[in-house]
Amino acid sequence: MTTLLTASADQTARLGNPVAEIEDLRISVGGAEHRDVVVDGVSLSVRAGETVGLVGESGSGKTMTALGLAGLLPRGAAVDAGRVTLSGTDLDTLTERRRARVRAERIGVVFQNPTASLNPRLTIATQLLEALPRDAGSRGRRRARAADLLGRVGIADVGKTLGAFPHELSGGLNQRVVIAMALARDPALLVADEPTTALDVSVQAQVLDLIDRLKHELGLGVLLVSHDIGVIGDRTDRVHVMSAGTIVESGPTAQVLRAPRHAYTRELLAATPALLRRAGTDAEPSTKYGTEPDHRSDAESNRVREVGAIVRVREVRRAFAVTVPGRLRKQRHIALHGVSLDIPYGAAIGVVGESGSGKTTLARQIVGLDQPDSGVVEYEGAPLGALDKPARRRWRRAVQYVFQDPYGALDPRLTVARSIAEPLELNGVELGGRTVAQRVRELLGEVELPVSCAGRLPRELSGGQLQRVVIARALANDPRVVVADEPVSALDLSVQARILRLLERLRRERGLTLVLISHDLAVVRFLCDHVVVMERGLIVESGATEQIYTAPAHPYTRSLLAAVPGAAIPAYHEETP
């Protein structure tokens, strides 16, 4: 039995040799009457010891190409033409059964969502044992091999992990388990399809470092599929850029990123958050918006002006009861440890940190979706709990939340027009003589959506369009503060860039105060003037954006910045006029 502690002689000998070759691959999807071509004439190769990138947006055909190579196409998809060769073996010369076996032995696959890749009802040990080849030996030897695999992928507590269920592990640990399963049969090729999209930036770096290390130690060829051109720039030797089912540009990664020839490649680079240019400087609040009459007295208005901060968080603490694996009683998890924060009028503040840092809990305190155990949140100098009815009504309209998942934020039964009109009608927003329908059309135009979207249901729109609807719904209340929780994390680069530019423009035109919750430091750098860094329920560092990004003082901030992908991309930016 081949051990995973060192590369085998075969693995060492194949370095530099092709482990996978695709020639003129063509894949279609659909039914018997009509089929759409989703991969059209794709050719590529992967050599042992190298990482080849396949980059493009949703619908470009990159994942279908990878699945076609691995023989894992979904129902309704089929290979119409092309040839696949694995380690010199032409799969067309084999029977279907033998072809499946060769693929299983020579290709390991790591999918985007580790939780979906694992069976929630089976322990990690059971799933690893199932992944091993049938001739792996006795049960004792198989269990030892499973433990070896977990050790190989950097899991420290092997015994505890073997006995755990997937829901008892973090996303990063689950992805390491998935990688261990992909290595169970000593493959020559590792296909990694968006292996870090769902992970925090530091965990993402750890997983990508792991794949790099395994590539060198085991002589693997790696096909890395991603929409993140920063990851591709940092981690691949060669890259193929896909659009509309075809490869539009190929070459050494550094060369392609430094001097892209195809317009689509240039568009991808231009849409990378680290390279986005802000449209202009901060503007004074526009008189075009905020149509609600101000019924405050002169004394109240003077007090508000003296406060300086529109929202203040004072020593807020919040804890939750959570279930801990292996314990009968729930444990108290402290999400916020006495957090204090001032949010000035017109500011754009980014709150960054990994999952569990407390940033979303803080956002929910600001908008009143959750109540602190102690401490206070103030709006315009007054504690939320002390607001009278008129002031509370103004606060509920003035502070709006943009959720991460637009699909979950909208009622699937309501049309776009009804979703946007709902807050106008419920909150009694002043329309200045316009009808609700007219205001809905104005809001659609403001978020750059065609009026034709008004009659559509959420399922009929793309993710980017839905996020614009959620933003329009928040703007319907003429807010002063918008809290956006990971508003672009699930979107393609070009769609993400358009939403970011939209938020930046709306902030300037409306004079909005923006609080952006994000794990993506490049997004925060583009949108925000001030950054707050959170770790384990504490604010560990805060300051002006450029100061934090160029001279971080806290070790945790430095580790987050060091993990941001895309170090190879600024060379292109510097040469671009």
Asked whether the predicted pLDDT for residue 565 surpasses 70, the reply is yes
Report the Cα 429 to chain-centroid distance in Å: 34
* Topology of domain 307-575, CATH: Rossmann fold (3.40.50)
Tokens representing 55 are 């980059």
Q: Is 132 left (phi over 0), alpha (psi -120 to 50) or beta?
A: beta
Q: What is the pLDDT of residue 322?
A: 67
Q: What is the pLDDT of residue 577?
A: 37
Determine the Cα–Cα distance for residues 459 and 456; give it in Å rounded to an integer. 8
Q: pLDDT (tens digit, 9 = 90+) per residue, 491-534?
A: 888 888 888 999 999 999 999 999 999 888 888 998 999 999 99
Query: For the range 213-218, what are the long-range contacts, defined as Cβ-Cβ under 8 Å and sequence gap of 24 or more?
Result: 214/152, 214/153, 214/179, 214/183, 214/190, 215/49, 215/50, 215/51, 215/190, 216/49, 217/6, 217/7, 218/4, 218/7, 218/11, 218/183, 218/186
The arithmetic mean of pLDDT across residues 65-84, rounded, is: 94
Q: Which CATH superfamily is domain 46-71+100-270 in?
A: P-loop containing nucleotide triphosphate hydrolases (3.40.50.300)
How far are the Cα atoms of 245, 367, 372 from residue 382, in angstroms, in the given order?
57, 14, 16
The arithmetic mean of pLDDT across residues 168-187, rounded, is: 90
Q: What is the pLDDT of residue 270?
A: 84
Strands 18-30 and 35-47: antiparallel
Query: b or e along 329-364 (b: 16 or more beta carbons within 10 Å of the residue's beta carbon)?
Result: eeeeebbbeebebbbebbbbbbbbbbebbbbbbbbb
Determine the Cα–Cα distance for residues 318 and 336; give it in Å rounded to an integer. 5
Q: What is the pLDDT of residue 279?
A: 57
Q: How many CA atoms lie within 13 A of 491 on its CB side?
A: 28
Q: Is the CB of residue 55 less than 8 Å from the CB of residue 267?
A: no
Q: What is the CA radius of gyration of the chain?
A: 26
User: DSSP label at 414?
Assistant: S
Closest CA to 219 of 52, 19, 2: 19
The chain-wide mean pLDDT, for the chain, equals 86
Domain boundaries, the chain: 46-71+100-270, 307-575
Q: What is the pLDDT of residue 14?
A: 60
Q: pLDDT (tens digit, 9 = 90+) per residue, 377-428?
A: 999 889 988 888 888 888 888 999 998 888 888 999 999 999 999 988 887 7
The strands making up 18-30's β-sheet, listed across from edge to edge, are: 35-47, 18-30, 77-86, 89-90
Determine the Cα–Cα distance for residues 148 and 5; give it in Å rounded to an integer. 8
Strands 513-518 and 481-485: parallel
Confidence category of residue 170, pLDDT binned at 50, 70, 90 = confident
Cβ within 8 Å of residue 94, ≥6 positions away: 102
Q: pLDDT (tens digit, 9 = 90+) per residue, 310-352?
A: 999 999 999 987 665 555 566 788 899 999 999 999 999 999 9
Confidence category of residue 361, pLDDT binned at 50, 70, 90 = very high
| Full DSSP string of 268-327 | HHHTSGGGPPPSS---PPPTTS--S-----HHHHHHHHHH-EEEEEEEEEEEEEE--TT-
Tokens representing 476 are 């319907």
Say yes or no: do domains 46-71+100-270 and 307-575 share a fold.
Answer: yes
Q: How many CA atoms lie within 13 A of 301 on its CB side?
A: 6
